[in-house]
Amino acid sequence: MLNRKLIPLAVTCCLFFLLFGVGSIQFEGFGTPRVFFNLLSDNAFLIIAAVGMTFVILSGGIDLSVGAVIALTGVVCSVLISKYQWHPLLVFPVVLIGGTAFGAIMGAIIHYYKMQPFIVTLAGMFFARGLASVISEESIPIEHEFYNDVSAFGFEILGDAWIGSSTIICLMVLVVAIIAAHYTRFGGRVYAIGGDANSSALMGIPLAATTIHIYAISSFLATLAGIVYSFYTFSGYSLAAVGVELDAIAAVVIGGTLLTGGYGYMFGTLMGVLIMGVVQTYISFDGTLSSWWTKIVIGGLLFCFIALQQVLVRVKPR
């Protein structure tokens, strides 16, 4: 009998292969390594953001500022590179440090003033989008040799499948996150806080430091996602990436992480994003289905997985 902890993850994986299989049988050219690796490279920024969201949700919180941080990162990058002629390699550390500090401040407010993560990160979302639109309301193009080189960097595997720089970054993030979540002391603390914040405080887990770290990591990864996002768009726009936070939350839930925290796998989040990507690819291959079906299907999937979680939690033997 399968470990019951693994049931949601197993369902997610099966569903992914089922959707991919159905697509492959139905459409020519769907079941190729190329389409599969395109899923990764098209959704690399979402995977990176969703990994950060997984840490937050594992700890029982939520981060609504992710999409806004992605947009702010793009705007700051493009202004520094195009207007002030900074080198991207100098810009990246600056925005990453700024993003991390932003998350740390949100984490500190959540912990010290005992506010709900939901409302604090909502204010953070307003703040980041507001700051982005104050910096520039227009879309600013990024023109730099380095950007073109990074974006074009990559190699072919398995015939015609393409692994680009964004895919490499996202896989690296994923590996580090899996190690951090499952094999380090910090990861253990995140799960413990998500399981029961009071008990873990009594156990001697430093709640303040861990909470601040979690939100700092989430914003750091959102900033990284913003950098990767600017590799696709070559521009910074204050209204970019609207709603990415919801996609990230949906991916985490579909990936089998329990929304009350303390329960879930990093790998599941990857599968969650891939399922959403496969639904989108399926709809674009089909051609007759309209784009709004993506939203409805993702809503339906969300419902099914949340219902599944509820059933698993309730049937749990005591």
Partner 1 sequence: MNTFKNQNLRRYLWPCIGLLALLVINAIIAPEFFQIEFKDGRFYGSLIDVLNRAAPVALLAIGMSLVIATAGVDLSVGSIMAIAGAVSAYYITKGVDNLALIIGAGLIAGLIAGIANGFLVGYMSIQPIVATLILMVAGRGIAQLINEGQIVTFDHPGFAFLGTGSFLGLPFPVVLVIITFAIVQLLTRRTALGLYIEAVGANPSASHYMGLNAKAIKMSVYCVAALCAALAGMIAAADIRGSDANNAGLWLELDAILAVVIGGASLMGGRFSIFLAIIGALIIQTLTVTIILSGIPPKFNLLIKASAIILVLLLQSPLFQKQLAQLKFRKSSPTNNTSVNGNNKETKNA
Under rule CB under 8 A, residue 127 binds partner 1: yes
- When asked if residue 286 is in the footprint of partner 1 (CB under 8 A), the reply is no
Query: Which residues, listed in sequence order, are joined to residue 161 by a DSSP beta bridge?
Result: 157
Q: Is position 123 an interface residue for partner 1 (rule: CB under 8 A)?
A: yes
- Total Cβ atoms within 10 A of residue 178: 17
Three-state SS for 161? strand
* CA–CA separation, 114 and 258 (whole Å): 22
- Reference 45, options 318, 231, 178, 177; nearest CA is 231
What is the closest distance, in whole angstroms, from the C-beta atom of residue 309 to partner 1 in the complex? 9
Q: List phi, psi (to 5°) of 154.
A: 160, 175
In DSSP terms, which residues pair with 141 in a beta bridge?
235
Judged by beta carbon, residue 166 or residue 247, the one nearer partner 1 is 247
Contact between 295 and partner 1 by CB under 8 A: the answer reads: yes
Does position 120 interact with partner 1 (CB under 8 A)? The reply is yes
Give Cβ neighbours of residue 9 (< 8 Å, ≥ 6 apart): 255, 256, 265, 267, 268, 271
Contact pattern for partner 1 over residues 188 through 227, marking x by CB under 8 A: ----------------------------------------
DSSP tally for the chain: helices H, then strands E: 14, 4
Which range touches partner 1 (CB under 8 A), out of 7-15, 212-220, 262-270, 295-303? 295-303
Q: CA geometry: angle at 300 spanning 294 and 302, to 5°?
A: 100
Our finding on whether 109 is near partner 1 (CB under 8 A) is yes
- 106 lies in the site for partner 1, by CB under 8 A: yes
d(CA 210, CA 179): 17
Binding mask 236-255 for partner 1 (x = CB under 8 A): ----------x--xx--x--
Q: CA–CA separation, 96 vs 227, rounded Å?
A: 9
Length of the chain in terms of residues written: 318
Backbone angle region of 287, left / alpha / beta, with phi > 0 → left and psi within -120 to 50 → alpha:
left
Residue 316 in contact with partner 1, rule: CB under 8 A: no
By CB under 8 A, the count of residues binding partner 1 is 45
* Interface pick for partner 1 out of 84, 113, 204, 317 (rule CB under 8 A): 113
Pick the piece of the chain touching partner 1 (CB under 8 A) from 12-20, 119-127, 179-187, 224-232: 119-127
Site map (CB under 8 A) of partner 1, residues 253-272, x = contact: x-----xx------------
Residues that bind partner 1 (CB under 8 A): 62, 105-106, 108-109, 112-116, 118-120, 122-124, 126-127, 129-131, 133-134, 137, 246, 249-250, 253, 259-260, 290-296, 298-300, 302-303, 306-307, 310
